[in-house]
């Protein structure tokens, strides 16, 4: 059976999984701190028991996306990453360095169905939605390249985020949760070509 991306579970879902695995509740807090502070392997999580780390490694993968190349602007340090997902699909993310902090632009789908005339994405065709963990992996990857964390996220890369509504919401919840990445949604921008029913749904969430 394919392993699940651990950052594709909601914060609550991961907490429940830890309890169902027979661990005390405080383990979830320890695990979440590792998962959202950039741990690259379960072996690094040295305050977790070894048998629990083995169980985690059997069931989950940490990073659902890996960098395969990058282009860096000599002018302003902007970095464009080519990223490979676990099934071989590729997407892009861009790290922009501003005086007020580092912002990453992430992709939410492999390809896109929308067909905006000005956009270079549609000719590649739509392949699939990205998981919440694949979106988060782009944030983690850019954070590592920036020397720690990013200060802002824009959902403006490949794909229409509201056409991947449920996964985008789980990602936003994990991004903003104090037990997740802990980034205020004031520092997050979601760009849409205008899926009105999904805009209404998003507005009802009253973030």
Q: What is the contact surface with ligand SF4 in residues (CB under 6 A)?
A: 112, 114-116, 119, 121-122, 158-160, 193
Smallest distance from the beta carbon of 73 to ligand SF4, in angstroms? 21
Nearer CB in complex with ligand SF4: 133/159: 159
Distance, CA of 190 to CA of 160 (rounded, Å): 9
In angstroms, what is the minimal distance from the CB of 112 to ligand SF4? Answer: 3
Shortest Cβ 178–ligand SF4 spacing (Å): 30
| DSSP letter (8 states) at residue 122 | G
Measure the CA–CA gap between 113 and 128, rounded to whole angstroms. Answer: 10
Compare residues 112 and 135 and give the one whose CB is closer to ligand SF4. 112
Nearer to ligand SF4, 28 or 162 (CB): 162
Q: Residue 186: helix, strand or coil by DSSP?
A: helix
Query: Measured from the CB of residue 197, what is the shortest distance to ligand SF4 in angstroms?
Result: 16
- Answer whether 158's CB lies under 8 Å from 145's CB: no
Of 3 and 113, nearer to ligand SF4 (C-beta) is 113
Write the CB contacts of 107 (distance below 8 Å, at least 6 apart in sequence): 83, 91, 92, 93, 130, 135, 138, 157, 158, 159
């Amino acid at each position: 059976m394919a392993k699940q991306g651990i950052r594709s579970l909601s914060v609550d879902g991961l907490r429940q999984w830890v309890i169902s695995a027979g661990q005390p509740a405080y383990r979830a807090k320890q695990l979440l701190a590792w998962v959202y502070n950039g741990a690259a392997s379960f072996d690094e999580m040295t305050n977790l028991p070894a048998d629990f780390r083995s169980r985690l490694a059997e069931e989950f993968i940490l990073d659902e996306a890996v960098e395969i190349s990058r282009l860096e602007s000599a002018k302003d340090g902007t970095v464009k990453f080519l990223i490979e997902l676990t099934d071989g699909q590729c997407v892009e993310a861009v790290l922009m360095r501003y005086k007020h902090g580092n912002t990453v632009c992430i992709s939410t789908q492999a390809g896109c169905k929308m067909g905006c005339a000005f956009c270079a994405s549609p000719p590649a065709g739509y392949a699939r939605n990205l998981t919440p963990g694949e979106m988060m992996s782009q944030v983690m990857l850019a954070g590592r390249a920036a020397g720690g964390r990013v200060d802002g996220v824009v959902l403006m890369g490949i794909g229409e985020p509201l056409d991947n509504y449920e996964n985008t919401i789980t990602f936003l919840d994990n991004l903003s949760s104090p037990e997740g990445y802990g980034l205020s949604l004031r520092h997050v921008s979601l760009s849409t070509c205008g899926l009105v029913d999904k805009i209404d749904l998003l507005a009802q969430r009253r973030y």
